[in-house]
Every structure is written in C-alpha cells, then in structure tokens.
Amino acid sequence: MSIEIKLNDRFALVEIVRQEGNLLQVKVDDKIYNVDLMHTADGTFSIIEEGHSYNIELLTLEQPKKYIAYTLYNTYDVEIIDAETRYLINRGGSGLESSEKNIFSPMPGKIVKILVSEGDPIQKGDTAVIISAMKMESEYKAAIDGIVKKINVSEGDTIEGNQILIEIE
Amino acid sequence: MRKIKKILVANRGEIAVRIMRTCREMDIETVAVYSEADRLSLHVRYAHEAYYIGKAPSTESYLNIEKIIEVARNCQADAIHPGYGFLSENATFARRCGEEGIIFIGPSPEVIVQMGNKIKARETMQKAGIPVVPGTEGSISDEARALEEIRKIGLPVMIKAAAGGGGKGMRLVHREKEVLTALRAARSEAQSAFGDGSVYIEKYITSPHHIEFQILADEYGNTVHLFERECSIQRRHQKMIEETPSPLMTPQLRRQMGEAAVEAAKTVRYTGAGTIEFLVDNDLNYYFLEMNTRLQVEHPITERVTGIDLVKQQILIAQGEELPFAQKELVQQGHAIECRIYAEDPDNNFMPSAGKICKITEPLGFGVRTDGYVYEGYEIPIYYDSMISKLIVWGNTRDEAIKRMKRALYEYKITGVKTSIKYLEKIMNCPDFIEGNYDTHFVEKNRNTLAGTARCNDDCEDMVIISAYIDYLDKLSRVYGYKEFVPAQNRWKKTPLTHHF
C-alpha cells in the first residue's frame, strides 16, 4: 500500500517493498532504500541506511496524522495524506484561511496594550497590540492596510497560543 | 558565627536547583518556595521541603516578601538565598530578613540600595575614581527633560531602567524620532518588571565589549576578584554566550581592571559575591557600568577556571567565615565557555517559545556541565524567564573549549519547544567568534552568517518520510491488524520509560 506523505511543501509517495523484522526495503518516490529501522512507541527513530546513522524524533500533534519531525539541524512539518485526509482536504476546499487579515498570538502570553479600536483604519506595519510573554514585550503589527473589524481581547487578558486577537478587513 | 543548617531558596528554575546542589554537598537542608505555575518545577522536586507561596505572576509569589519571610519563619530556615532576579537585589527584602533574624545571603541592605540604583552606583564609583560612561546625573521621569538630556549627551544613547537588569526596560536610540517610543517602552517595561518606571540615559559606546569581574568579599575586609568574564555576545541586550578569559584581555588590563573591581567593592564595604560590570572599547578604555550585588547567571565559567564553588563561598561568608584564599592564590586555569539555552525562536527575532518539553537529551562527557531545570513532560510556564538551561564547557585552550562546546551542542537535543541550541552552534562556527574578534554588535553584524538553517540532503528528508510512514503503519496495525506490515515484536522500546506528568 503506498501512502502520500507531505513534508513541508513536498509530496512524496512511500511504499514498503519488503520487510524482515527491523530490516525494511522502502520506496520513496522513485528511490529504493534499504534501512535498518528501530523506533520507540513515542517517536524516537534510529535508522541506519548504507552505513549512515540517522536520528529522528517525531512529535505527534493534536491530530494523529500530523507530526513535527526533528533531524539534527532541521524541523519539518509532516502529514500523512491518506484517503481520510484527502477527503477532508477536498471537502474543505482550498479557501485560504487568510492569516494576513488577522493578528494571531503566536504563543501564550498577556495583553499589555491595545493600540487600536474597532472601526479604526490601520496601515500595514502599524502596531496593533503589545503582548508580554516570558517577561519580554513584543509588538504585533498589521500585515495589510484595512479597517479594524473586531477586537477579541482586552488589556490584561491572558491569551492562548494561536488565538485570533484582532480581525482586520 | 552561626552555622547555617537550613536554607530557603527564594527563586525558581535552574538557579534554585544549582543553589540546592551546593547545599546538599554542604549537608544543608533546602527549602523551595513555589507559585501556582511551578508545582511541578524541578526545584520543588529537588528540595527537602517545599511551600506554596501564591499565584503564578511573580508579583504574587516570588516577589511577595512577607509571604516568603513567613514561610522561612515557619520552617525555621536559618538563611535565605535569593538567587538572581526576583528579590536578589531588593533591599527591603534583605532588611526584612535581618529583622526576622534570618541571614540574607548577599550584601547588606545599604549596599544593595547604593549599588542597586544605577544612578547612585555611578556617583559612588565616580567619587572612588573609577571611570564611568557619560550620562544623566539622575533618574528622569518626564519626557521633555529626557529629550533635552539626550540632545546634550548626543545620540546614540542608551535608555535604561534605574532599577533594571537583564536587558529589561532598556532601549538603544539612534535617531531623534525614535526617542519618545523608546522612552515609553523602557518605562513601561521597567514599571512592570521592577515596579519602578524611572530611567536614566547614557552615552552609547560604539564597539563596546561587556566585560565583568567577579568579586568575593568577607566581613573582615578581605576582598578578592576572580578574574573576568567576557559577555559581549548578546541578543536583545541579553547575554547569550560568556567566556573566560576574555579574548580581548591583556595581563596588564586584567590587573588594572581587577584592582578597580576590588576597589569598587571595598568602597562600599561589600560582602559576599558580587560582579562589577565594565564596558571596554576597542582601545581598551574601560568604564564602570554597574555592580550586580548577587550571583550572576554566568557564574559557572568562573567556577570552572578557578575551581571555586561561588555558592559555597557565599554561604560561608554569610555565616561569618573568613575567605579561605588570598588574591595571589587565585589562578585562571584553561578556558571556559557558557551558552545559555533559551526557549525561543532565533529565526523569528528570538521570540520566546513556551510549551511542553517532549524529549530532552543533555550533553555529557569530559569538561561538560549543564545547569538546567526542565525535564521531559515539563511545561515551561509563560510567566517567567525563557532560559531553560546553561551549558558550560571547559578546555585547556580557547580552541579546545570551542570544539568541545560544538560537540556538546551537537549532543543537546530538546523537542517540543523551539530553542537557541542550533543558533549557538552556528555562533561556534562563525569566524569572528573563533578568532575572538567580536563586540556587543556581534549578533547584528553576523546576522546573515547566522540566519537560516543548513538543509539536510534529500536522503535525510526521505528518512524523515520513512519514519512518519512507519509510525503511521505501526499505529494502523495496532488498531486494524494491518497485514502488509508486521510491527516487529522487539522494536526497541515499546513503552516509553518516562512517565510524564
């Protein structure tokens, strides 16, 4: 059974050709690899391929088919595109969730100051909100010109990561 | 003289653990205090006793003087070690300890006041004949006066919190139109970090080196310095890498600055461990910057080259003992480097990255020390500093120390949060760093060299894809008994050994 796997922007087709215990022959796109693969249940992988030793850590995110993969120097977003995922993607359409239109919190923190009000015009690069996290204050700016449509937080609020703080139209 | 038998550590994180380690070696009982966010923090688990002191924001817990005093009294602690940050340079706290008959491990409240306020410290040092950087003579609270002062001193200037430290409430201003924004930001940060919004303004020295001297002083007037620490590798005005000896230092300058540091400490009748920070320019002129009346984050590199446990000396001095060594007995042996590991994203302007530590593998081996506090399954709270550990290496020479640091950084793996580890490794490979040719502008100057990631090759990416594929098949076969793939019976560890909180 071949499965499509997405690594950052790359789509690759993967298939097991042969298996003998931990010795696997795997085809990735057109390339065949003979690997000795050992792993733990919580995502630590040791792979020996042609004498090269690779250490990879997989971190499962909220969805079971999405991973963050760590190699020595790189971090990748990895997703298994099986039938179910494909169905969800197709049904969801490709309507781009405009992250540009909204100001997100990239991490948990606390709102120190909101510099705009609903209905205000805002220009690209204007600071809209100041957030304090881990004792540092950072300014969050608008990515587009527009009007402040909605402000979802107040000064002093504790916020979660990836929360929409301010919507711009 | 009274032997200290129990110490309350009024701090958290790596420094709390580091202090308790020495206490254990000295057969001293340890008491941890913790906020709501720190129930599972390592210092709580490491200590003999642990007491809850309040809500997560530090103003309600680690800065709550009366609560901490109450805990110390109830558990009959002989002494309180404040670590760095929090109450370590708070004179009221030191005074309250004294009133309750608890030893404050640090200098007297009078000295803390004198040196803790950077404006007073400047005046004191000027009087003692130690060179200082040109700047305002007092703190400034109104904006018009600030603008006027800045015109007088001349741009660029540095705006600093009068009660500050650790880069908080600090802004560099190059252009006149940036003055107001910077001033407001500095004041707001100073207000929230130290509860005091007053700032002062200083001439900004171009190509500055940040070099500090560690000093130790006992109650009997014996004062020594334990040489310098070069702390010029900084980002957002916070130190990232420190080393000793400094590549800039000459034996003559070391003697001069060391004597100035000892003189500075003697001028204020300092006791305990302290640090005199200097700015040194390329022509080797030095200026007194400030005195930190506490243990520094980067103290381990001094410990490594001198062989002296600074926390142990702090405790011995606090219980009234005499320094067991004289200046001439102290030597710097070899070279030590410290890298601070922050939970942050170097590719995104060093934005802090809170979250849960998934896996952690710490470096080991000859000449390597880690002072940390996070463990697998630990969730880094958003309320406190983003530094998660310090990696300290030692080598016979600077070259050996750099190579060892590279090796140790290679071994250091943390997943779950973004860290500065790979960024630090890039600095170790940077020609300017290797040649010792750097000042506090290093990070800015080498921005391009340090940016981006070395992409691993296609094979390596394919290995990631294979891993994800196998993990997926493994899960499928466990649920559906999937036939084409047989999970190996003994595929290494089937159950993780670590059971996370």
Q: Is A76 on the interface with B (CB under 8 A)?
A: yes
Same domain (yes/no): A85, A110: no
Same domain (yes/no): B48, B98: yes
CB-closest option in A19, A28, A42 to B465: A28
Same domain (yes/no): A85, A107: no
Interchain pair B465, A7: CB under 8 A: yes
Q: In 10 A of CB A18, how many CB atoms? A: 10
Does residue B124 fall inside a structural domain?
no
Interface test with A, best of B189, B379, B409, B464 (most A CBs within 10 A): B464
pLDDT at B375 over 60: yes
**Exposure string (b/e) for B390-407, b if CB count within 10 Å is 16 or more?**
bbbbbbeebeebbebbbb
- Interatomic CA distance for residues B399 and B376, integer angstroms: 33
- Interatomic CA distance for residues B266 and B111, integer angstroms: 11
What would the two tokens of residue A67 be? 């991973």
pLDDT at B316: 98
- Interatomic CA distance for residues B353 and B319, integer angstroms: 40
Residue A18: domain span? 3-92
Same domain (yes/no): B17, B88: yes
Interchain pair B351, A107: CB under 8 A: yes
Task: Compute the average pLDDT of residues B376-384.
Answer: 91
Does residue B289 fall inside a structural domain?
no
* B422 vs A contacts (CB less than 8 Å): 73
Q: In 10 A of CB A64, how many CB atoms? A: 11
Does residue A30 fall inside a structural domain?
yes
pLDDT at A91: 63
Catalytic, B447? Answer no
What CATH number does residue B182 fall under? 3.30.1490.20
Condensed to tens digits (0 to 9), the pLDDT of residues B297-321 reads: 999 999 999 999 999 999 999 999 9
Instruction: Residue count of chain B, please give it.
Output: 501
Interchain pair A65, B472: CB under 8 A: yes
Q: What angle do CA B483, B485, B486 make, to 5 degrees?
A: 90
**ipTM value for the complex:** 0.73
Residue B396: domain span? 341-419
- Closest chain B C-alpha to A109 CA, distance in angstroms: 6
Residue B165 confidence class, pLDDT cut points 50, 70, 90: low
Prior bond of B431 cis (ω within 30°): no
Enumerate long-range contacts of A157-162, CB under 8 Å, 24 or more apart: A157/A110, A157/A111, A158/A108, A158/A109, A158/A110, A159/A105, A159/A108, A159/A109, A159/A110, A159/A111, A159/A131, A160/A105, A160/A108, A161/A105, A161/A106, A161/A107, A161/A108, A161/B354, A161/B355, A162/A104, A162/A105, A162/A106
- Interatomic CA distance for residues A103 and A166, integer angstroms: 5
Domain count, chain A: 2
Residues paired with B278 in a beta bridge:
B211, B288
Q: For residue B63, which amino acid is it?
A: L
pLDDT at A135: 74
Give the ranges where B363-452 is alpha helix by DSSP (H): 398-411, 421-428, 431-434, 442-445, 447-450
Same domain (yes/no): A85, A19: yes
Interchain pair B492, A39: CB under 8 A: yes
- Closest chain A C-alpha to B376 CA, distance in angstroms: 12
C-alpha pair distances (Å), B11 with each of B16, B19, B24, B191, B377: 5, 10, 17, 21, 21
- Interatomic CA distance for residues A93 and B154, integer angstroms: 58
- Interatomic CA distance for residues B74 and A13, integer angstroms: 65
What would the two tokens of residue A24 be? 């696997």
C-alpha pair distances (Å), B77 with each of A54, A146, B461: 51, 60, 56
Does residue A72 fall inside a structural domain?
yes
Does residue B168 fall inside a structural domain?
yes
Q: What's the whole-number average pLDDT of chain B?
A: 91
By C-alpha distance, the chain A residue nearest B484 is A1
- Interatomic CA distance for residues B30 and B80, integer angstroms: 10
Condensed to tens digits (0 to 9), the pLDDT of residues A137-149 reads: 878 888 888 889 8
CB-closest option in B168, B353, B486 to A19: B486
Residue B79 confidence class, pLDDT cut points 50, 70, 90: very high
Interface test with B, best of A42, A105, A112 (most B CBs within 10 A): A42
Domain count, chain B: 4
Does residue A110 fall inside a structural domain?
yes
Q: In 10 A of CB A8, how many CB atoms? A: 13
Q: For residues B83 and B16, is the Cβ–Cβ distance under 8 A?
A: yes
C-alpha pair distances (Å), B429 with each of B368, B433, B436: 19, 7, 12
Same domain (yes/no): A26, A68: yes
By C-alpha distance, the chain A residue nearest B86 is A135
* A64 vs B contacts (CB less than 8 Å): 475
Does residue A40 fall inside a structural domain?
yes
Q: Which residue has better confidence, B222 or B163?
A: B222
What does pTM read for this prediction?
0.83
Interchain pair A73, B386: CB under 8 A: no
pLDDT at B497: 52
Residue A94 confidence class, pLDDT cut points 50, 70, 90: very low
Tokens 């796109």 belong to residue = A29
Same domain (yes/no): A52, A18: yes
Which residue in the list B171, B229, B294, B304 is annotated as catalytic? Answer: B294
Does residue A123 fall inside a structural domain?
yes
Tokens 């494909």 belong to residue = A86
What would the two tokens of residue A68 be? 């963050």
Task: Compute the average pLDDT of residues B132-136.
Answer: 85
What would the two tokens of residue B100 be? 């309750």
Does residue A97 fall inside a structural domain?
no
Domain boundary among A92, A123, A158: A92
Q: Is A112 on the interface with B (CB under 8 A)?
A: yes
CB-closest option in B359, B475, B488 to A64: B475
By C-alpha distance, the chain A residue nearest B457 is A74
Same domain (yes/no): A135, A112: yes
Same domain (yes/no): A85, A10: yes
